[in-house]
Structure 1
Amino acid sequence: MSESTLWWIVAGFFVSLEMLTSSFYLLILAFGAAAAALCALAHLPQDVQLLVAAAVGGGGVMAWHRHLLKRGPIDTEGYTTTGLGHLDLGEEVSVAGWAPDGTAEVLYRGSAWLARHHGPHVPQTGVHRIRAIESCYLVLEPI
């Protein structure tokens, strides 16, 4: 098996992991592996391939992370969900009780969901509105 084939396999591995986790960092590492594969196709030595993979992948990860740090934290006041989750925004759920860590388990659409409280006040039981969906949490605000 040629060196370029191995690099393409590594790039495919990173892309498949990215599809499972939705982490943009893994996609950047796949670009580094693809750049190393192109170096292998150009018959460059293995140490050059490794340096190119590290420079493109590692440099890209550092640049993306620096970009995210420069952007700053996400504004929580104007926090909304994009994508398919917007269909659930504004729906009402009933909270029977809050756990000490600030989460609750609510029934929504026939299944149990984890929920987090949004707002400056201490969470209370009762009817809440879905403000956003964050990962596997419903972000709730009191009505």
Structure 2
Amino acid sequence: MKKIILISALLSSVSYAGMSELNEAEMQQASGQAGITLSAGMEFDTGTRISYTNEDAEYDDNTKEYWLVLDNMTGGVEFKNMKIDLVNNFGPAGTAGAIQVTLPEEVNFDELSVEGVYLGPGKTVTENHQFIMGVDVDGQLQFPAETRMNIFAIK
């Protein structure tokens, strides 16, 4: 236990030794980057199901909530370098803040298959669900450089 405490103290003193204060002129020259960059891969085992509902939605029939169900997924999908950032001075009047999404440089599909996309009551598919479509995708999708979407609220 004493060795762990000693090693921790040494590592923290070494890491602190590399830091230095910035004066006012150096601070003005410094710039940083906001936002995040995401890269991810997902692989789906046979029988994977993704279900989604919006509990705050108001449906015209006022009966019950609806679920979007992606049923019996297999294969995989990977995306590289998608960026999410906050930007100012956006919108028609230039006064709104926005979320800026820079689409991934590429999306790779590895025999991604969704037996059915359904809409209906409940997170598992029943006879009361409406079939919307099936999906089979294999290959690479590339976007032009720096393809951006800006999402902002309006009145």
- TM-score tier (shorter): under 0.3
TM-score (norm: length of structure 1): 0.22
Higher RCO (CA-CA < 8 Å; seq separation 6+) = 2
TM-score (norm: length of structure 2): 0.20
Larger strand proportion of the pair: 2
Larger helix proportion of the pair: 1
Question: Which of the pair has more CA radius of gyration?
Answer: 2
